[in-house]
Amino acid sequence: MWPFGGGARSPQALPLFPLKTVLFPGGVLPIKVFEQRYIDMTKACLADSRPFGVCLITSGDEVATPGGSAPEIASVGTLARITDWDMPQLGILHLVTVGEARFQVRGRRVSPAGLVTGDVQAIAAEPARPLAESCAPLVKLLELIAARVGPQNFPVEHRYDDASWVGYRLAEFLPLPLSIKQSMLEINDADVRLQVLQKFLAQQGVL
């Protein structure tokens, strides 16, 4: 079992999957894996029932190039737990992952094969907080988004009364720049996150 709790712990070694996306706690992220380094990482995670870490690429590419260096990544990422997988053809893995706890990258190293391992520390989960009545329009918008993207792309458990859950889901599905999505991940206050999102949507004429 991955020894990751909600309090402060000494850094743990964690394989990292740099991607041009932001995974939020509770979010569903399908990943197509075809590079051998990540196929090996996936097999090891499945064998040990361990998650890996997803971090946003801030500079560089997802796919390795000959002689290329590892991409630069954001310092805050999210654990990704594999919930389903399939190999439709040899050498290609289709994963379904679910976001768990956030973490801070304290250090990293790159193997000769190009796999990044981070020394990461858990970020405490936000306390459950009821959604303010003023956020009711955000819930209606999120319900519309859930219907549009379909149940296969939306968390099974719905928590429309939880401020963190609603904020994470909106940040996940709204067409925000990746840098803004990353900032939404790094915010440690659910009410502040919702206020920022509500202001953005009002400026766009959505609310």
List the CATH number of the domain containing 169.
Answer: 1.10.4060
Together in a domain, 113 and 190: no
Q: Total domain count for the chain?
A: 2
The answer to which of 3-7, 11-15, 33-37, 173-177 has the lowest mean pLDDT is 3-7
Together in a domain, 147 and 71: no
The per-residue pLDDT for range 35-90, each reduced to its tens digit, is 999 999 999 999 999 999 999 999 887 766 555 677 899 999 999 999 999 988 88
Whether the Cβ atoms of residue 12 and residue 4 lie closer than 8 Å to each other: yes
* Residue ranges making up the domain that contains 106: 12-122
User: Is it the case that residue 33 has pLDDT exceeding 50?
Assistant: yes
- Residue that is last in its domain, among 63, 96, 122: 122
Assigned token pair, 8? 């402060």
Together in a domain, 37 and 109: yes
Asked whether residue 184 is domain-assigned, the answer is yes
Q: How many residues does the chain have?
A: 207
- pTM of the complete model beyond 0.95: no
Whether the Cβ atoms of residue 73 and residue 87 lie closer than 8 Å to each other: no
Whether the Cβ atoms of residue 144 and residue 38 lie closer than 8 Å to each other: no
Together in a domain, 81 and 138: no
Share of the chain above pLDDT 70, in %: 92
Together in a domain, 98 and 138: no
